[in-house]
Amino acid sequence: MADIGSPEELAVTGHAATTPATTAPTTRHRAQDRRRRVPVRAIVLGTGLVMVVLAGATGRVSGLVALPVTGVLVAALAADRPVALTRRTMVVAGLALLGYAGVLVFAPGVFVVPALLLVVSPLALPTGTTMVTTRDLVLSVAGALTLTLAHLSGRTALVLAVTAAGLPVLLAARLLRRRPAAPLLRRRPAARRAYLVRALTVLVFAALLAATTLPGTYDTLALTLPGGVFTVRTAIVAGAVAAAALAFVPGGRVLPAATALLAAASMYLAFELAATYREPADPVTLRAPFVGDWYIVHGGHSALVNGYRSESLDLIQVNDGSSHNGAGVSDYYAFDQPLLAPTDGTVVYVSDGLPDRTPSTPDPDPAHAAGNQIVLDLGGGRYLHLAHLEHGSALVNVGERVTREHAVARVGNSGDSAEPHVHIEVRDSPDPGLRRAGVRTFPIRFTDVVVTRGGHTSLPAAVDLRRGDHIQSHFS
């Protein structure tokens, strides 16, 4: 076969080069290849999205997991297109806000299902030229709803701890994904302002996040995580400092919706921190209804330290950093401990027929979340509630007048209770149950107890208790 020469030679001699048709695929061939290509990524992500949504809607997976995972999967599947600011956009946003507010007011117990729908609502917005994109909106809506659910379910501390670990990772990942950015001073004024606003927003949020370690927000996590309280608090502060530092590194795209979410979260943290340290109004002073050493799991005036979003108290007994030495209900140190009347009162409600649950198992009877319960009328429209009592342990009857130090029951694990503990609250209603709508709870102060807070021990005349406090009571 004759050698036809190199391309350069052919150009000089004028000989035409003949190459196989397969070496230069046409546009039509490439389009056919794309149609034949199986969208494996979309199938995998779509299948995962359907599974997560169904699991979250049916309660098989916690909403605190389902919501952020749904947001990530939807953002990965959706095209990252800018959103238009049109009448349609305003209508969709307005309907979403109305649905969000309606669920919070009328049916917070079914929050997860409409929240999952709200996560995908940005996909219905028209395409435009704004700086806000669909992925930015999807992830921001998922983040806002996750924080809301954490507040409603009493798990604010857990979500904030995950945020402290995840936020610096997300900021670092965005810097690594993008090409090196031009120095900030060389950018246009609008771009510089956008980056500075983002950096300052992250800085304020990080400072407030670090400040949440002060009142004992994360102290209960130290009971289940290695290293104790100091290690947990140090990790939270380190994550906040890392996020603040990364925010000032130029690079990545500014996400307006995510920046707005951090600004809203900062206002939330500022409000809750202020509420934690405020002087309580109309407190009720009682003697502790138990003897020995106890630990405050929920207590205080904000969602940072009290998961009930009320003025109630939850207390457990702890020994060497643990509340139990086995898996059975009787292996918990608080179980079967005697409960005493913390003040004089008249018994207006008694129940002790519900069984004690195995710790950390689902509640078989959500209609009786308070479990076995005793209610005392203290006078003046105030009623003392002692809940989750041991099965068959009630020592008083309705109508009986009890005095301080009178034995009334024993600590149990009935109702919606993860482990044996004392639940005590004073409210303006004798109706049994927990978290009644429209019911006011009063702050509780204990007298004659030794309090250890932040490593400092004191004997105050009356102490305003909050999460993380150790108290010693010697009822006499």
Cα 69 from Cα 21, distance rounded (Å): 47
Identify the CATH assignment for 284-473 out of 2.60.120.10, 1.10.3720.10, 3.40.50.11810, 2.70.70.10: 2.70.70.10
Cα 351 from Cα 334, distance rounded (Å): 20
Burial class (CB in 10 A: 0-12, 13-18, 19+), 97: exposed
Residue position matching structure tokens 């409000």: 271
Q: Angle at CA 66, nearest 5°, toward 275 and 167?
A: 60
Burial class (CB in 10 A: 0-12, 13-18, 19+), 140: buried
At 102 the pLDDT is: 77
Give the three-state DSSP class for 426.
strand
Residues 6 or more apart whose CB falls under 8 angstroms from that of 431 comprise 439
Cα 281 from Cα 275, distance rounded (Å): 12
Cα 419 from Cα 295, distance rounded (Å): 13
Cα 272 from Cα 307, distance rounded (Å): 12
At 476 the pLDDT is: 54
Strands, sheet with 444-447, edge to edge from the N-terminal-most edge strand: 284-287, 444-447, 463-464
Q: Angle at CA 11, nearest 5°, toward 5 and 17?
A: 55
Cα distances (angstroms) measured from residue 60 to each of 54, 290, 416: 8, 37, 17
Two tokens, residue 237:
């502060």
Backbone angles phi and psi of 96, in degrees to 5: -65, -45
Contact yes or no for 307/154 (Cβ under 8 A): yes
Neighbours of 196 (CB within 10 A): 13
Residue position matching structure tokens 């330290």: 305
Cα 402 from Cα 190, distance rounded (Å): 71
DSSP code of residue 301: S
Cα 39 from Cα 25, distance rounded (Å): 22
At 331 the pLDDT is: 94
Backbone angles phi and psi of 397, in degrees to 5: -125, 160
- Closest by CA position to 404, among listed 370, 432, 444, 376: 376
Domain range summary for the chain, segments of one domain joined by + = 36-153, 284-473
Q: E strand or H helix at 175, and its extent? A: helix 156-177
Per-residue pLDDT tens, the chain, 476 aa: give them.
Answer: 444 444 444 344 444 444 444 455 565 555 555 555 657 777 877 888 888 888 887 878 888 899 899 998 998 888 888 888 888 888 888 888 887 887 777 667 678 888 888 888 888 888 888 888 999 999 999 999 999 989 888 889 999 999 999 999 988 887 776 555 545 445 577 777 888 899 999 999 999 999 999 998 998 887 777 777 888 899 999 999 999 999 988 777 788 999 999 999 999 999 999 999 988 888 999 999 998 899 999 999 999 999 887 889 999 998 887 888 988 999 999 999 999 999 999 999 999 999 999 998 887 788 888 999 999 999 999 999 999 999 999 999 999 999 998 999 999 999 989 899 999 999 999 998 776 677 899 999 998 889 988 788 888 777 788 999 999 987 55
Rama region for 463: left / alpha / beta (φ>0; ψ in -120 to 50; rest):
beta
Amino acid at 116: L
- Closest by CA position to 330, among listed 406, 251, 410, 269: 410
Cα 63 from Cα 145, distance rounded (Å): 9
Give the three-state DSSP class for 347.
strand
Burial class (CB in 10 A: 0-12, 13-18, 19+), 105: exposed
Strands of 56-116 (E only): list them. Answer: none
Cα 46 from Cα 387, distance rounded (Å): 45
